Chains A and B, each alone.
Chain A
Amino acid sequence: MNIVNSYRLMIRNVRINTDPGTLVFLVLMPTIYLVFMGYMFGTLINQIPVGTTSINYKEFLSPGIAAFETATAGIVAGGLLWSDRRYGMFEQILSSPYTRAEYLFGILLTTLVFGFIGSGIMMLVSEAFLDYTAVSLMGVGLIVVSISLGSLFFGCMFLAIAAKVKSNQAYNSLTILIIFLVDFASTVFYPITPTTPEALKVLFYINPLTYIADVVRSGYTSTVTGTSLVELLVTFIETIVMVAIAVLLYRKVRVGVT
């Protein structure tokens, strides 16, 4: 596999995806969450315990929304494979000097780029609209690793869906369903409390976005504990499993068949 080829495809993916629709999806929607929920719930919720300390709702929400961007980036990745298959570019690119592996790696690189751009923008928006937070060097490291793993996990998840489903309606419906489930069954918007129903707790704990949001939050608010590292490990294992599933399903994608 030639990494330069994957890089070249990543540039192509970014160039064709920098349209107003994608930017609105990537930036405006999370910004609306951040501003409206931040201000409105911020007046209702005082302090939320995180690690050994407690933070206000705006501080809680901002890193959550930055983590949420990894799922949004994943949708971009799945959308790329889906539209390339649907509109013939998958076959066209594979008849150019690119291998299947280079194409796949190009999409994963694109997911990372969109994950970092989205999360970065959300952090900047947080700084502008909400209270200023100083992030430690270790915090930055944790955020970077967590956003990378999250982008890869969701990129692979939506790639697997794009590789498997046959119709546009099915792809869109599944994507919307999963993004809502993943977002709301996580600690992006609210913490898990002792009164959270057990069934919901299970959902929260198998959802990697819970761990990504928690780790980004601990890095962002300098509240890193041993739990943060365990959560990072869980995210890593879940990402490895999802990469394997995506690669398996991607290998079965035939040219000329949508």
Chain B
Amino acid sequence: MTSFPIEVKDLKYTYDGRKFAVDGISFSVKEGEVFGMLGRNGAGKTTTIRILSTLLKRTSGSVEVLGMDPSTAGNRIRKRIGVVLQDESFDFTTVEKAFDVYGFIWGVSKPERDKKREALLKTFELTDVRKKRMWDLSGGQKRRVQVAREFMHDMDLLFLDEPTSGLDPIARRNILNMIKDLTKDGLSVLFTTHNLEEADYLCQRVAIMNNGKILASDTIDALKTGYNGLKTVEVKISGDQVGAESMFSKVTSGRVEPPIEDGLPYRIVTENTQETMQEIIKLAVTESVQIEWLNVRAVSLEDVFISTIAGGA
């Protein structure tokens, strides 16, 4: 197998001929590596996975998956990959039959299917619901079946499009650990997620995407290096947000990053947390802004992500 199961150069894709869902991205995934694609909804992660897994034909650029071009060697690539789609996918049957039928369409022999099904039902804690029909399962249970089912067949490369969405923390951790174990045997994984803790736990390298472009791509440690010696002060405001904007525009002791969604705290990346906290409290008093809580912590991948998205937007 090639040492780079995925190599992408200047990949572009447009659905309508006008707006590019993927706009000139380049990256590569090494053998035995978990490569994370991080980005907000509509960033272009799923479209990228669809192109690499041969479901969509690229508009331009060059792509190699397992040393082959997806637009000409689709079937040969598909025989060696696994894909867990972002949207649910299930047959109208029982859980154990869903495993068996899926193994069957992958050409797995009956004894092997039985063996793998039993192991996966146990690993993914689905034994209790094995006789239940798929539509009677909860969203999290369906997701577990969908992820587990993919391991009914062997593969060299696995695409996981937000595989842990809707899962409880224990199920999530089980899946992440299983993927970690499989990469030790040489499996390469392209993984998309909104959960940055997960990416931090699982991925060796990540790419941060926004509006179809890769804004930053490196190892997680290297991405955090730009923040050496810095800390994050989080400030959650209660009450008037307009006043808060005005207040934070006057902060001079650090770089302010406004919340990307309602209900999240403001973040100030700073060298001197003491000075920043004092400045915030003073400004809150003079600007009559009520602070709900205030927190100091080390820079996380989430800070890198938000900072990158804010800088690239």
Q: A16-B91, A16-B92, A19-B93 are in contact. Are A255 and B55 (CB under 8 A)?
A: yes
Contact string against A for B residues 95-108, beta-carbon threshold 8 Å, 1 for contact and 0 otherwise: 00100010011110
Which A residues are in CB contact (< 8 Å) with B46? 256
For A83, list chain B residues within 8 Å (CB).
Answer: 92
CB of B50 within 8 A of chain A?
A: yes
Q: Please, how many angstroms separate the alpha-carbon atoms of A31 and B46 in the complex?
A: 48
Q: In the complex, which residues of chain B have a beta carbon less than 8 angstroms from the beta carbon of A99?
A: 74-75
Q: Does A166 contact B (CB under 8 A)?
A: no
- The A interface is mostly helix, strand or loop, or mixed, namely helix
By the criterion CB–CB under 8 Å, are B55 and A89 in contact? no
Task: Determine the distance from Cα of A12 to Cα of B102 in the docked complex, in whole angstroms.
Answer: 8
Query: Which of A70-78, A90-98, A124-132, A179-187 is near enough to bind chain B?
Result: A90-98
CB distance from B150 to the nearest CB of A (A): 9
Q: With the chains together, A9 CA to B91 CA distance in Å?
A: 13
In whole angstroms, how far apart are the Cα atoms of A53 and B55 in the complex? Answer: 58
- The residue on A at minimum CB distance from B153 is A96
B59 nearest CB across to chain A (Å)? 15
CB-CB under 8 A from A92, the residues of chain B are 83, 85, 89
Chain B residue nearest in CB terms to A15: B101
**Cβ-defined partner of A12 (8 Å) among B50, B83, B105:** B105
Tell me how far the C-beta of A81 lies from the nearest C-beta in chain B, rounded to whole angstroms: 13
Q: Is A11 an interface residue (CB 8 A)?
A: yes
Knowing A12-B101, A255-B55, say if A96 contacts B106 (CB, 8 Å).
yes
Q: Between A and B, how many residue pairs show CB distances below 8 Å?
A: 70
Contacts A87-B90, A88-B90; is A97 near B55 (CB within 8 Å)? no
Residues of B73-119 at the interface with A, using a CB-CB cut-off of 8 Å, are: 74-75, 78-79, 81, 83, 85, 87-93, 97, 101, 104-107
- Chain A neighbourhood of B296, CB < 8 A: none
* A251 interface residue per 8 A CB criterion: no
Which residues of chain B have C-beta atoms less than 8 A from A94's C-beta? 55
Q: How far is the CA of A36 from the CA of B211 in the complex (A)?
A: 63
- In the bound complex, residues from chain A placing their C-beta under 8 Å from that of B48 are none
- A87 to B89, Cβ gap below 8 A? yes
Asked if B54 is an interface residue, CB under 8 A from chain A, the answer is: yes
A97 to B78, Cβ gap below 8 A?
A: yes
Check: B53 CB closer than 8 A to any chain A CB.
Answer: yes
Bound form: Cα–Cα A70–B54 in Å: 35
What is the minimal beta-carbon distance from A45 to any residue of chain B, in angstroms?
Answer: 41
Interface size on B, residues (CB 8 A): 26
In the bound assembly, the distance between CA atoms of A89 and B83 in angstroms comes to: 12
Which residue of A has the minimal Cβ distance to B150? A92
Q: Cβ of A11: which chain B residues have Cβ within 8 Å of it? A: 104
B78 surroundings in chain A (CB, below 8 A): 95-98
* Residue of B with least CB distance to A83: B92
A77 to chain B, nearest CB (A): 15
Q: A residues 1-23 with Cβ under 8 Å of B? A: 8-9, 11-12, 15-16, 19
CB-based contact A88/B88 at 8 Å: yes
A95 to B107, CA, bound (A): 15
Contacts of A12 in B (CB 8 A): 91, 101, 104-105
A9 to chain B, nearest CB (A): 7
CB contacts under 8 Å to B, within A197-211, are none
Q: A15-B101, A87-B88 are in contact. Are A95 and B53 (CB under 8 A)?
A: yes
Cα–Cα distance between A16 and B97 once the two chains are bound (Å): 8
Within B161-182, which residues are at the interface with A (CB < 8 Å)? none
Q: Determine which residue in A19, A87, A93, A255 has the highest number of CB atoms from chain B within 10 A of its CB, and name it.
A: A87
Question: Hey, what's the 0/1 contact readout for A215-258 against B, CB within 8 Å counting as 1?
Answer: 00000000000000000000000000000000000000001100
Q: Is the CB of A255 within 8 A of B89?
A: no
Closest residue to B90 on the A side, CB-wise?
A87
The answer to whether A89 touches B104, judged by C-beta atoms less than 8 angstroms apart, is no
Q: Which are the 4 A-B pairs with shortest beta-carbon distances?
A: A88-B89, A95-B83, A92-B89, A97-B79
Residues of B at under 8 Å CB distance from A?
Answer: 46, 50, 53-56, 74-75, 78-79, 81, 83, 85, 87-93, 97, 101, 104-107
Extra pairs beyond A19-B92, A87-B89, A87-B91 (10, CB < 8 Å): A12-B91, A15-B104, A16-B97, A16-B101, A87-B88, A89-B91, A92-B89, A95-B78, A97-B79, A256-B50
Cβ contacts A to B, 17 pairs, < 8 Å: A8-B104, A8-B107, A12-B101, A15-B97, A16-B93, A16-B97, A88-B87, A88-B89, A91-B85, A91-B89, A92-B85, A92-B89, A94-B55, A95-B53, A97-B75, A255-B50, A255-B55
